[in-house]
Structure 1
């Protein structure tokens, strides 16, 4: 029996999945009617992308982007070897906090010593990817979720650790006091396409807040 590939979406199937969810959920249908389809957010399966996601932890998207731009101005192509060649002071000048300096170095070291292969990682099931990445200091479930959703386009992730996503669901569904666990239970209705639902609710949040992304 051939090995089953992990479920993922492409641009064509993404829009079909949005339509499918809209038929199931009136709130999703209303978002699509008001704002149109969300972008098919996509990032390269690269070391730079993982560094970018680490930089996005618990800060604004603009702050993370500014740090990444500063790093690229400093070293050009972002590689593990180049990053490991920077001092604490040089990374601080690129807007890396002490904590994120530690996380970035841990990731770079894991790739440099062969502990982690991004090429091999792409073909693994979601749970094995999560296990491999969370072994690295500073990479938790939110970072893995973003990698799975935006890099590999895996279909069924719903990161309850994402404040914007949680707030968007609360706002759209007028359930302001709902806990993360209650929202996760609600999201069961969107299986096996919770990633697509998350993209729709992120889209609503970004449009409502007029955020440049």
Structure 2
């Protein structure tokens, strides 16, 4: 399972662009994106939960407050805080439940985040979505940004769907299944192309087409 690096990101995008004219066009318009990585572990997965259904700016602000509140940022430290403290940091009640569920799974050893590195993509996703509050998008974001999985595509991400709508000139935003269909030529570099589409989305034209409330790359 080859990881994305700065070098392989460029090589992967070049390879995908050679098979897909839309990728080639996006690359010509916005250039190569920066590689986005987070150290794997509890904080990275918790951050993905915090970012669910939020804009990048909102998620970033809440995450900054949470980092100031939970010291050190470990499962045990989070579980030691009451709901009022976590609410003051900006977490909604559902996300407090999800954060605690994750902390409990990690603290008990039921979820071994280190073991995920040895699992295939779908096996790792299955292990993550077994935790309350973690859906496929959250699991895929963790695999892409914390583990650097090169072929993971969070197809349910609204920014990616909006970018695809603009790139392909579609009358409406595609469904995740539609994006996955179009992404077949990108294999095994769908994660690299996701980086490119987030960059493409962040341009003024794509952001305008996406509408209010959309974010950008989750981290």
What is aligned with 1:163?
A: 158
Report the Cα distance in structure 2 between the residues aligned to 1:141 and 1:153, rounded to whole angstroms: 16
TM-score where L is the length of structure 2: 0.89
1:112 paired to 2:110: no
What is aligned with 1:135?
A: 130
Residue aligned with 2:66, SS: helix
Of the structure 1 ranges 56-65 and 99-108, higher mean CA displacement relative to structure 2 is found in 56-65
| 1:182 CA displacement | 2.1
- Of 94, 97, 104 in structure 2, the residue corresponding to residue 102 of structure 1 is 97
What is aligned with 1:207?
A: 203
**Residues 121 and 152, structure 2, Cα contact 8 Å, conserved in 1:** no
- Structure 1 residues 191, 45: CA separation in 2 closer, same or farther (over 3 Å shift)? same
What is aligned with 1:78?
A: 73
- Of 47, 51, 75 in structure 2, the residue corresponding to residue 52 of structure 1 is 47
Of the structure 1 ranges 99-108 and 152-161, higher mean CA displacement relative to structure 2 is found in 152-161
What is aligned with 2:212?
A: none
TM-score where L is the length of structure 1: 0.91
| 1:88 CA displacement | 0.7
Report the Cα distance in structure 2 between the residues aligned to 1:137 and 1:185, rounded to whole angstroms: 29
| 1:176 CA displacement | 2.7
Structure 1 unaligned spans of 5+: 1-5
- Of 188, 191, 203 in structure 1, the residue corresponding to residue 187 of structure 2 is 191
Structure 2 unaligned spans of 5+: 209-215
What is aligned with 1:3?
A: none
1:43 paired to 2:43: no
Task: Report how many aligned residue pairs link the two structures.
Answer: 208
What is aligned with 2:168?
A: 173
What is the CA RMSD across the aligned residues, in angstroms?
1.7
Cα deviation per residue 1:118-175 (whole Å; 9 max; x = unaligned)? 1222221112211211111000100011011111111212222111101100111101
